Chain A
Amino acid sequence: MATKKKRAPNVENDSWVVVAADSVIDSQKHHSDPAFVRLRNPSTDAASLYMLGSGDVQLYEVKAFEEDFHSWFIGQTVQRDGRLIFVTPMDPLYLILPYLIKSGKEGKFQPVDQVVMDEEFPACSRLLSCTRSLASLHHIAEEKEAGSLKFHRYSQERTMNWLKKKVERTIVALKKRNISVGEGVKSTTYIRVKSEADNHEEDYLRYAHGLISEYISDDLSKALLSHLGLPELTSPKETEPPSKKRKLSDKPVEAEEDYTKFNSADFARKPPKKMTAAQKTLAKVDKTGMKPMSSFFSPKVKAEKK
């Protein structure tokens, strides 16, 4: 009989299936290979995997498509891990932002290479080599120049404007891609269908805000929400219906159903039987039109003569 299948622990892989932008593998210019690095995720404050392109010129985020019961056939081999990894370009400012905010609390202008430092993630200083990093710092910080040195100080106002632009650009992308943003029934098996009623601007705004919030801290996300002029959603607890109130009437209260029958002696409550794994597998077999086991034991009906 089929035994219960045990899941073996995932063994280390030495290969992955990755979809990456062409620019990732373009190592001609800098003569170094792209590398996976662990950096602080601005949204969760924990470690996440990123990729730095050749010469640390471009930052990429790493996301994995992961669903149960998937495996790969690659050439003549089988790979148990059915993940599909995406390496997509990312704005390094998102990762620099938390460090600037932290040092901004002191209110001083500082050189960025002293700000973007992390004992836990020493690789974070490499973020500053990205072509876009230093050139776009003015989006989130005030700048001061003294001689050949540049000093920066975090600016909430600039950051909010920058994030707002990000939200607006995201909305354009969402519309172009025809992505359904309306609230619907949340189900893992339903595919959201884009309907006519879906085109509310606020839905797009909220959806884009939610997407951008994946790349910033919770505090920043809340600040951005009010900057966009969106009220915070009420928690589901408040929208719960009030508990039922008893109807008032002068008539004597009477039970609608007679529950006493359950108390009588001949009413035996049968506990639901728990099936063994073997019984369960059997129960799954299609048994339509089959003879019951008992029919093989009952006395034989005499076969009709010719």
Chain B
Amino acid sequence: MVLFLKNLQRLTTIVKRSKNSDTFRLKEFSQKFLGYRHAEFTESMNFIDSTKDKAIPIYRITTSNGEFLDPLQDPKFSKNEALKMYKTMTLLNSMDKILYDSQRQGRISFYMTSFGEEANHVGSAAALDPNDLVYGQYRETGVLLYRGFSTQQVMHQCYGNEKDIGKGKQMPVHYGSKEINFVTISSPLTTQLPQAVGSAYAFKREKSNKVVCVYFGDGAASEGDAHAAFNFAATLKCPIIFFCRNNGYAISTPTDEQYAGDGIAGKGPGYGLHTIRVDGNDLFAVYNATKEARKLALQNKPVLIEAMTYRVGHHSTSDDSTAYRTADEINEWQEKDNCIKRFYQYLLSNNYWSEEEDKKWIKEARKEVLTAFNNAEKVKKAHPNELFNDVYHELPKHIKKQMDEMNEHLKEYGKNYPLDQHLPK
């Protein structure tokens, strides 16, 4: 009996002690290690099998015919707003067709279309404040156009002529403009993500009421810089929206060779990001989600939006996508989920637009693009000296010397170079 009591006493002490230690450890783990998330011990050995989980649902509010499933969520665009969005999408579409063909004819060196992704550009751009800073990847031309980048500026850039903001230094489609707060695009994928976080941090310190929105594709999300950016944004609490265009392909690589988790949105919670997956071809859903994301970002809660869409066009003019996917697949998407047609239905049902007006506008849009194109083709490129400018804020001695060396060379050998395409000094 005494032995039994003694044992019992020992047992209770052990339980008490372990309870004490459990309380201590759970408190430590929760607060110090897990960002105040509630932690518990478990005696059942369960590995989390994420393949058994349901995918994060896709937020949408209209059907692919453009009918509202939940009319209460209609953002109720005015006629002007709705037409600006529609016109941006269709103008982009016309421009893409013309520039794609002109590349095929060898008139510009390279191009990338946005076919099938127009709604996610415009829906998100419309939900941002014009002062918000945007970083893009390269397939966000709709965001630029919505913000006021003109077709003429697009053409100047693609031609790299003397009127190009970028002074003809980069390949076509690498747009940027200080005036519309769109940071100049660069080719290395995903590098813009941690940069966007840094800008957002600076905005937070300025108390400027501005957010940063950064766009990237599902392939780019595999780069180390995406990991860096998600983690920095969350730990440093930055006013930023990560906008992922998941269009199913990174050049030829389908998403099942890109990731094995629940898409890009599936990564968000792991970093502590507010996360949502939207129907990227539903302009209204994209708009609503971005609008709300902006509010969260302003409270220094970084947000990840994954817009599900489909890359209808080839990756670029250097790619023939039927080498890795069927024409049927492309046609089916275009037919069954065309984001521009979807929005067009909305315009018709609100009596904002008619078939006749549409025909007239499409003609006008083509004309605008062609005029800008012809203008740009006529403008000369800057003098070759421009190649030495802006390496540094100032022109260092050694680079000035190289500029002089080139000019000396051109004096004698100029006839062997395309000087006639460039302005004189």
B is bound to A = no
